[in-house]
Amino acid sequence: MKIYPVSTIISVLVATSLVFSVTAKGKGLSAQEQQFVKKAAAGGLAEVKLSELANDRASNPKVKDFAKQMVTDHTQANNELKPIAESNKVPVPTKLQGESEAAYKRLEKLSGARFDSAYVKVMVSDHDKTVAAFEDASSKVKDPSLKGFVDKTLPVLRQHKEHIHAIEQEMGTGKA
């Protein structure tokens, strides 16, 4: 029987524990992926809440139709993102915060054409930012379930962006 020095045994044990530690951490989401999940969940929640408000306050039929589509599509996306967040222990917001909360408070004071114009501007800005974030995530996300969610959701978001820009142009609320 060969006798190994204690330092060799300790070195092997430390190296082995480091390998297992890295492997275990590799199964979860990276810090960037966790941040993306939080932002995507917050954005999805905002789209639903702001669009529910639009269902009540909008006067333009195209704005109302867009809002209904937002509630449907973003509720579905939120429901698909939720298990990814839960399985990776990423807390997601359950109420509006920050810019989204401020936008909601501004919009709830409006009605009719003024509401329509303000809602469309918020949706244009939100979808421009959201599509950019999802495009960035599509090339960077490594987690298979999150990557699948991003790649499935991105075409829908692009369609929303195109649709809301067309409504904006038709209403004459654009920057041009």
pLDDT in tens, 37-64: 999 999 999 999 999 999 999 999 999 9
Q: Does any domain span residue 93?
A: yes
Number of domains within the chain: 1
Q: Does any domain span residue 24?
A: no
Report residue 5's pLDDT band, with 50, 70 and 90 as the boundaries.
Answer: low
Tokens standing for 164?
């809301």
Is residue 33 a contact partner of residue 146, using CB atoms and an 8 Å limit?
A: yes
Q: Does any domain span residue 131?
A: yes
| pLDDT over 80 (residue 18) | no
Residue-level pLDDT at 3: 56
Q: Does any domain span residue 25?
A: no
| pLDDT over 60 (residue 13) | no
Residue-level pLDDT at 154: 98
| pLDDT over 50 (residue 23) | no
* Dihedral over Cα of 41, 74, 99, 97: its sign: negative
Q: Does any domain span residue 12?
A: no
Condensed to tens digits (0 to 9), the pLDDT of residues 116-166 reads 999 999 999 999 999 999 999 999 999 999 999 999 999 999 999 999 999
Percent of the chain topping pLDDT 90: 81
Q: Does any domain span residue 88?
A: yes
Report residue 172's pLDDT band, with 50, 70 and 90 as the boundaries.
Answer: confident
pTM for this predicted structure: 0.81
Tokens standing for 126?
């939100």
> What CATH number does the domain containing 105 carry?
1.20.1260.10
Enclosing domain of residue 93:
30-171
DSSP the chain: -PPPPHHHHHHHHHHHHHHHHHHHHHTS--HHHHHHHHHHHHHHHHHHHHHHHHHHH--SHHHHHHHHHHHHHHHHHHHHHHHHHHHTT----SS--HHHHHHHHHHTT--HHHHHHHHHHHHHHHHHHHHHHHHHHHHH---HHHHHHHHHHHHHHHHHHHHHHHHHHHHT-S--
pLDDT (mean) for 63-88: 98
- Residue identified by tokens 């449907």 is 72
Residue-level pLDDT at 24: 38
Question: If you average pLDDT over every residue of the chain, what do you get?
Answer: 88
Is residue 48 a contact partner of residue 70, using CB atoms and an 8 Å limit?
A: yes
Residue-level pLDDT at 176: 37
